[in-house]
Structure 1
Amino acid sequence: MTSGTLKKPQMQGLLAERVRFLILGAFTVSLSVAAFRKFAVAEPRKKAYADFYRNYDSVKDFEEMRKAGTLQSAK
């Protein structure tokens, strides 16, 4: 029987290899979070604002606030 020899531990370049792996992981996670936020938060918010201002009448809104007494300077 021959006894197997153990593989020598990596003594040089261990930090560089680990940092490279962690940087790639961080880049991947940050890119996926940015894409998720864009499509889950920003786009629906833009659509909601566009829908609101499509039919918004500022004069009508002003008159309603004036009649309700919300605006003190416009009577």
Structure 2
Amino acid sequence: MSAALLPKPQMRGLLAKRLRKHIVVAFVFAFGCAASYKFGVAEPRKRAYADFYKNYDAMKEFEAMRDAGVFESVQPKKK
């Protein structure tokens, strides 16, 4: 008698029904991760590089490294 009270389980289309939900959830999750990476990592990194190279003087940096003896093939500048 208790078997008649239980509803029949859904057998047809169960995979398709569950996949629709899971694909939407996966898409939203992936989009959220991509957006958080772009605005949390990539944009600040681009800004930091732009700020660094705004006032960067390559020759001044080279001369400082040369005077410090970093290069083996370049002699330090005589003072």
> How many angstroms apart in 2 are the aligned matches of 1:31 and 1:72?
49
Alignment RMSD: 1.4
Instruction: Give TM-score scaled by structure 1 length.
Output: 0.88
Matched positions, count: 72
| 21-30 or 52-61, which deviates more | 21-30
Matched, 1:55 2:58: no
Instruction: Give TM-score scaled by structure 2 length.
Output: 0.84
Give unpaired runs (5+ residues) of structure 1: none
Give unpaired runs (5+ residues) of structure 2: none
Letter in 1 for 2:24: L
Instruction: State how 1:1-75 maps to structure 2 within 5 Å.
Output: 5-75=5-75
> How many angstroms apart in 2 are the aligned matches of 1:19 and 1:11?
14
> How many angstroms apart in 1 are the aligned matches of 2:72 and 2:63?
13
Secondary structure of the structure 2 residue equivalent to 1:26? helix
| 8-17 or 32-41, which deviates more | 8-17
Identity %: 58
> How many angstroms apart in 2 are the aligned matches of 1:54 and 1:74?
27
Deviation at residue 6 of structure 1 after TM alignment: 4.2
Deviation at residue 73 of structure 1 after TM alignment: 1.2
